[in-house]
Amino acid sequence: MAVQPLEKARSLPFSAYTDPVVIEEESTSIFSREWVFVCMAGEVSQPGDYFAMIVALKDALKRSMPKRIELSFF
Protein backbone atom coordinates (compact mmCIF):
# COMPACT_ATOMS: atom_id res chain seq x y z
CA MET A 1 0.00 0.00 0.00
CA ALA A 2 1.47 3.32 -1.04
CA VAL A 3 1.38 6.21 1.37
CA GLN A 4 0.86 9.69 -0.05
CA PRO A 5 0.80 13.09 1.63
CA LEU A 6 -2.67 14.21 2.73
CA GLU A 7 -2.58 17.04 0.20
CA LYS A 8 -2.71 14.43 -2.59
CA ALA A 9 -5.69 12.58 -1.11
CA ARG A 10 -8.70 12.08 -3.34
CA SER A 11 -12.17 10.78 -2.73
CA LEU A 12 -14.83 9.23 -4.89
CA PRO A 13 -17.00 11.59 -6.90
CA PHE A 14 -20.20 12.75 -5.19
CA SER A 15 -22.28 10.62 -7.54
CA ALA A 16 -20.71 7.46 -6.09
CA TYR A 17 -22.59 8.19 -2.86
CA THR A 18 -25.89 9.33 -4.40
CA ASP A 19 -26.37 7.54 -7.73
CA PRO A 20 -29.27 5.07 -7.44
CA VAL A 21 -27.49 2.64 -9.80
CA VAL A 22 -24.40 2.55 -7.55
CA ILE A 23 -26.53 2.20 -4.42
CA GLU A 24 -28.51 -0.69 -5.92
CA GLU A 25 -25.33 -2.44 -7.08
CA GLU A 26 -23.73 -2.15 -3.63
CA SER A 27 -26.93 -3.29 -1.98
CA THR A 28 -27.13 -6.38 -4.19
CA SER A 29 -23.46 -7.33 -4.44
CA ILE A 30 -22.26 -6.47 -0.94
CA PHE A 31 -24.83 -5.92 1.79
CA SER A 32 -27.52 -8.44 0.88
CA ARG A 33 -25.06 -11.36 0.65
CA GLU A 34 -23.29 -11.05 3.99
CA TRP A 35 -24.13 -10.90 7.65
CA VAL A 36 -24.69 -7.28 8.72
CA PHE A 37 -24.50 -6.07 12.32
CA VAL A 38 -27.73 -4.36 13.38
CA CYS A 39 -27.42 -3.88 17.14
CA MET A 40 -26.20 -5.45 20.37
CA ALA A 41 -28.53 -7.98 22.02
CA GLY A 42 -28.52 -5.80 25.15
CA GLU A 43 -30.17 -3.00 23.17
CA VAL A 44 -33.27 -5.19 22.76
CA SER A 45 -33.07 -7.10 26.03
CA GLN A 46 -36.67 -6.65 27.19
CA PRO A 47 -39.73 -8.16 25.47
CA GLY A 48 -41.15 -5.51 23.17
CA ASP A 49 -37.84 -3.62 22.73
CA TYR A 50 -36.92 -2.90 19.13
CA PHE A 51 -34.17 -1.35 17.03
CA ALA A 52 -34.93 -0.25 13.48
CA MET A 53 -32.50 0.57 10.68
CA ILE A 54 -32.07 0.23 6.91
CA VAL A 55 -29.85 -2.59 5.59
CA ALA A 56 -29.30 -3.09 1.85
CA LEU A 57 -32.13 -0.68 1.01
CA LYS A 58 -34.55 -2.70 3.16
CA ASP A 59 -35.98 -1.86 6.55
CA ALA A 60 -34.61 -4.17 9.24
CA LEU A 61 -36.28 -4.50 12.60
CA LYS A 62 -34.61 -6.28 15.45
CA ARG A 63 -37.08 -7.01 18.19
CA SER A 64 -37.03 -8.86 21.46
CA MET A 65 -39.78 -11.35 22.09
CA PRO A 66 -40.10 -13.47 25.21
CA LYS A 67 -36.91 -15.56 25.40
CA ARG A 68 -35.74 -14.88 21.82
CA ILE A 69 -34.58 -12.12 19.50
CA GLU A 70 -35.81 -11.93 15.93
CA LEU A 71 -34.64 -10.04 12.87
CA SER A 72 -37.17 -9.15 10.20
CA PHE A 73 -36.74 -7.60 6.76
CA PHE A 74 -39.57 -5.73 5.13
d(CA 24, CA 57): 8
Tell me: pLDDT of 23 over 80: yes
In a domain, 1, yes or no: no
Task: State how far Cα 34 lies from the chain centre.
Answer: 10
Is the pLDDT at 5 greater than 50? The verdict is yes
pLDDT band at 74 (very low <50, low <70, confident <90, very high): very low
Q: Which structural domain, as residue segments, surrounds residue 57?
A: 39-74
Q: Could you tell me which residues are beta bridge partners of residue 59? A: 54
Residue 59 lies in a domain: yes
Torsion angles phi and psi, residue 36, rounded to 5 = -125, 125
72 occurs within a structural domain: yes
Structural domain count of the chain: 1
45 inside domain: yes
| 31 compared with 66, residue with greater pLDDT | 31
Answer yes or no: is 69 within a domain. Answer: yes
Check: CB of residue 52 under 8 Å from CB of residue 60: yes
> Is 61 within the bounds of a domain?
yes
Q: Please state, in angstroms and rounded to a whole number, the distance separating the CA atoms of residues 51 and 40.
A: 10
**Residue 55 resides in a domain:** yes
pLDDT score at 72: 61
